[in-house]
Structure 1
């Protein structure tokens, strides 16, 4: 009888964990889809709301590592000064996992359609953390 109760408890915990992961995944994907919309509307300020507003935020790109929310924002503004340079963004999700409690990891591909500047595409890895009940990107490694 005791083993049976233990088995039910373990199954219940596993179900709750999966349900929580599904809810968390939905929240993260909602943020990413909103970021695409923000980008395509030329709103980098709103696009940045998916990132951790901290000096510890890391953005890794072809020029190296940028630390901090403000520096990351300024980097986007420098690289994408206008709508023509920004183009139209599309994300493709390749892998989505939760390596630990309150942490998510995404691998994906981005594509910028830019008829006047030439298209740009590459891959990204995003590390997310749930901070104060909100999922935010704490590390973005983008190639392209």
Structure 2
């Protein structure tokens, strides 16, 4: 399998790996979680209108989805966050929102295994985000 390294701890998933990536990231809820990512992108990324997303695998485990290349304006009226970020940072933000919201959903519905899975993936992504060059903008967006 050939992957592209974006950073020493993040790799773009190869076409051969793509079918397995979302189930690993989002477990059995991968279809709803993937749709949630696109819905959140439409809500928070100015001028988002679809496109092919890249999938990034983290060195240990976990990962995130990345919208089409370029710069994105993230706007969240709920917390007042406005930031112009790279596609990579936008993907971290959107994926973190999905992981966080779905973990809370499953906690409220007594689905402990899915809650634990989403919480673990969120923690892995936040650990990675702390070392990202756009960490300040990522955490402000998620505040």
**TM-score of the aligned structures, taking structure 2 as reference length:** 0.29
1 or 2, which has the higher strand percentage? 1
Higher helix share: 2
Q: Which protein shows a greater Rg?
A: 1
TM-score in terms of structure 1 length:
0.29
